[in-house]
């Protein structure tokens, strides 16, 4: 497997606070990578820096062989790097179907004039994106609620919809920011199955979360972040047995207990 996304020496400071400090890791094509760390470790900032939502002070990001450091999110999305947000971000007033349609912008929008005059090409693209939306809904098991307003769905469904919107942009790499935060065990299992389905379609996945159990049950490899830098990297098993990781997660006393 080749390196699909390379993050090298990424840093971002907020008024003296080093939110992310010299962070490096790679995502290999076709894998599920977990990015994990205790609260406040800089996970969300890292994903913001990689996805272009925030600009790094230093460091570079290389995606699919090209430098993409600091590029705007919509340009990254066009290249195939799409992310979700931590708090469920869906369009709550709109139907689930409309939500997913909005995610198909990249394959749908024919340009201002074609859209305005609804040219044959625009109609063809619209029909295709309709089909794509339908496919994504079916794929993630959302077709039964397709016409419900997104805001009325249970939280777990909203998280899935969140992913569906991102998938509608036809990503090659999808980055998920805390996809199971606030979910029940059952819903968490559902999300895990969905992520596995996504990977089976050949989409590379990077998952950011602090839920160690969820990540270790899902990911091929794990990167542990603490205080803005990489603390450890490896298979879930390797990482879990790393005393530094346990200490960062549970504090010194627990680490000692864990060691016994």
| Site residues, other proteins (CB under 8 A) | 14-15, 19, 45, 51, 53-54, 72-74, 77-78, 82-85, 89-95, 97-98, 101-103, 105-106, 108-110, 112, 115-116, 118, 122, 126, 147-152, 165-166, 168-169
CB of 254 to other proteins, least distance (A): 28
* Closer residue to other proteins, CB minimum distance, 34 or 110: 110
Q: Are 96 and 145 in contact (CB under 8 A)?
A: yes
* Closer residue to other proteins, CB minimum distance, 161 or 245: 161
Tell me whether strands 58-63 and 32-36 are parallel, antiparallel or unpaired. unpaired
Q: Are 93 and 102 in contact (CB under 8 A)?
A: no
CB of 103 to other proteins, least distance (A): 5
CB of 250 to other proteins, least distance (A): 26
* Closer residue to other proteins, CB minimum distance, 102 or 199: 102
- CA dist 220 and 26 (Å) reads 13
Structure tokens that stand for 203 in this block: 């989409």
Supply angle C-alpha 75, 51, 222, rounded to 5.
140
CB of 116 to other proteins, least distance (A): 6
* Closer residue to other proteins, CB minimum distance, 38 or 80: 80
Phi, psi of 27 (to 5 degrees): -115, 130
CB of 5 to other proteins, least distance (A): 16
* Closer residue to other proteins, CB minimum distance, 151 or 243: 151
* Closer residue to other proteins, CB minimum distance, 68 or 232: 68
CB of 161 to other proteins, least distance (A): 11
Q: Following DSSP, what letter does each residue of 63-115 receive, concatenated?
A: ETTEE-TT--HHHHHHHTEEE--SS----TTSBHHHHHHHHTHHHH---HHHH
Q: Residue 141: helix, strand or coil by DSSP?
A: coil
* Closer residue to other proteins, CB minimum distance, 53 or 250: 53
Compute CA 250 distance to the chain's CA centroid, rounded to the nearest angstrom. 25
Half-sphere exposure of 125 (CA within 13 A, CB side): 15
CB of 49 to other proteins, least distance (A): 11
Q: Are 236 and 34 in contact (CB under 8 A)?
A: yes
């Amino acid at each position: 497997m080749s390196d699909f996304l390379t993050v090298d020496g990424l840093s971002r400071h907020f008024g003296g606070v080093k939110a992310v400090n010299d962070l490096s890791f790679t995502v290999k094509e076709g894998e599920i990578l977990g990015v994990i760390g205790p609260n406040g470790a800089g996970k969300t900032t890292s994903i913001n820096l990689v996805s272009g939502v925030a600009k790094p002070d230093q460091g570079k990001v290389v995606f699919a062989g090209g430098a993409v450091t600091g590029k705007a999110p919509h340009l990254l999305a066009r290249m195939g790097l799409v992310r979700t947000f931590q708090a469920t971000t869906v369009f709550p007033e709109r139907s689930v179907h409309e939500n997913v349609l909005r995610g198909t912008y990249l394959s749908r929008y024919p340009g201002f004039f074609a859209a305005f005059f609804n040219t044959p090409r625009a109609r063809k693209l619209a029909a295709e994106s309709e089909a794509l939306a339908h496919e994504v809904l079916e794929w993630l098991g959302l077709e039964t609620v397709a016409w419900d307003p997104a805001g009325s769905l249970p939280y777990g469904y909203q998280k899935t919809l969140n992913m569906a919107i991102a998938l509608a942009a036809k990503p090659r790499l999808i980055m998920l920011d805390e996809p199971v935060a606030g979910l029940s065990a059952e819903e968490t299992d559902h999300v895990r199955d969905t992520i596995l389905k996504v990977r089976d379609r050949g989409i590379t996945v990077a998952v950011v979360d602090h839920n160690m159990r969820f990540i270790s049950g899902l990911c091929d490899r794990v990167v542990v972040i603490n205080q803005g830098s990489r603390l450890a990297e490896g298979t879930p098993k390797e990482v879990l047995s790393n005393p530094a990781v346990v200490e960062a997660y549970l504090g010194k006393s627990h680490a000692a207990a864990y060691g016994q």
